[in-house]
Amino acid sequence: MTNLNSTSLINVAFQGEPGAYSEAALVDYFGKKAAAVGKPRFEDVFEAVEDGSCQLGFIPIENSLAGSIHRNYDLLREHSLHIIGETTLRVRHCLIAAPGASMDKITKVISHPQALDQCRGFLNRWEGGIKVEQVYDTAGAVKQLAETRNQTTAAIASRRAAELYGMSILMEGIEDDEANFTRFLVLSTEEVDPGKDAKTSILVCLKNLPGSLFKALSVFALRDIDLTKLESRPLIGQPGEYQFYVDFAGSIKDQKVIRALNHLEEYATLLRVLGSYPRNSF
């Protein structure tokens, strides 16, 4: 079992480049205990944990503005890793420029289209107007600034990206909507003891009959188990079945949770426990 208290660094795989928001969340969560290992695709994160080249994986699972990341639910279903932790990052955009640059000289702002869109109010208030240019990723925008040292261009990215590339932060928290959070999961080949304040994530398939979801939810309601997430996902090409993501308060070791899941198996065509882990409120 991965020992998080060990003094040696643990390798944690994430999808993205250094300075990406995923990496920032990973560093926040593990502190100095982890070495972040960037991978091109989410699949590569799962495979790195399975083949042992990384001890843990770290993936985004939902964003408060953009929704659940179905791709990662599919990978959780296809692979047999366990969720052993969760954390939530508030996405906080910074206006970043090369050292020596100042706000009044900036004529252009570059970033990923989603980040630009999330800072539209800020950009619209810019005295005299500002040119905006879309690039592929936020960390890449900062890397570009670091290479050119251009004094009239700023990037929108994470504080971490600015620090990594030695750039200056002109402003922090320029996003219009403060309720921009991304929830991340920690993945391992082995389960952990989730402790007393635990959360459990499951994936359930039900026959598409009137009332089938109601029956399925009764197994939790009848035992006063609190749901923290419930989402149906259309299964294309399988009109007779529905897939649900359910998170609930409680550990897989609790008697009432064990009973609820046994009861749920009476209705479900598929039931997968994705993990039981210490709760970290979203």
Site for a second copy in 228-247 (CB under 8 A): 229-234, 236-237, 239
Q: Catalytic: 182?
A: yes
**Separation of alpha carbons 197 and 279, rounded Å:** 6
Catalytic residue among 14, 58, 122, 184: 184
Determine, following the binding rule CB under 8 A, whether residue 130 of this chain makes contact with a second copy.
no
DSSP-assigned letters across all residues of 226-238: PEEEEEEEE-TT-
Pair 95, 174: CB distance under 8 Å: yes
Per CB under 8 A, the segment of 31-39, 99-107, 157-165, 210-218 that binds a second copy is 210-218
Is the Cα dihedral 214, 215, 216, 220 positive or negative?
positive
Q: Which of 205, 223, 226 shows the shortest CA–CA distance to 272?
A: 205
* Residue 116 burial (10 A CB sphere; 0-12, 13-18, 19+): buried
Determine, following the binding rule CB under 8 A, whether residue 226 of this chain makes contact with a second copy.
yes
**Of 223 and 272, CB closest to a second copy:** 223
Least Å from the CB of residue 55 to a second copy: 26
Number of amino acids touching a second copy (CB under 8 A): 42
**Separation of alpha carbons 66 and 63, rounded Å:** 5
The 10-49 contact track toward a second copy, x by CB under 8 A, reads: -------------------------------x--------
Determine, following the binding rule CB under 8 A, whether residue 1 of this chain makes contact with a second copy.
no
**Of 98 and 205, CB closest to a second copy:** 205
Site for a second copy in 142-161 (CB under 8 A): none
Pairing of β 67-68 and β 108-111: unpaired
Per CB under 8 A, the segment of 50-58, 60-68, 157-165, 263-271 that binds a second copy is 60-68
CA angle 136, 62, 168 (to 5 degrees): 45
Least Å from the CB of residue 179 to a second copy: 4
DSSP-assigned letters across all residues of 123-172: HHTSTT--EEEE-S-HHHHHHHHHHH--SSEEEEE-HHHHHHTTPEEEEE
- Name the 3-class secondary structure at 30: helix
Residue 184's Cα: distance from chain center in Å? 3
Determine, following the binding rule CB under 8 A, whether residue 132 of this chain makes contact with a second copy.
no
**Catalytic residue positions, numbered:** 182, 184
Residue ranges in contact with a second copy by CB under 8 A:
41, 62, 64-71, 113, 117, 120, 134, 136, 178-179, 181, 208, 210-211, 213-214, 217-218, 220-221, 224-227, 229-234, 236-237, 239, 281-282
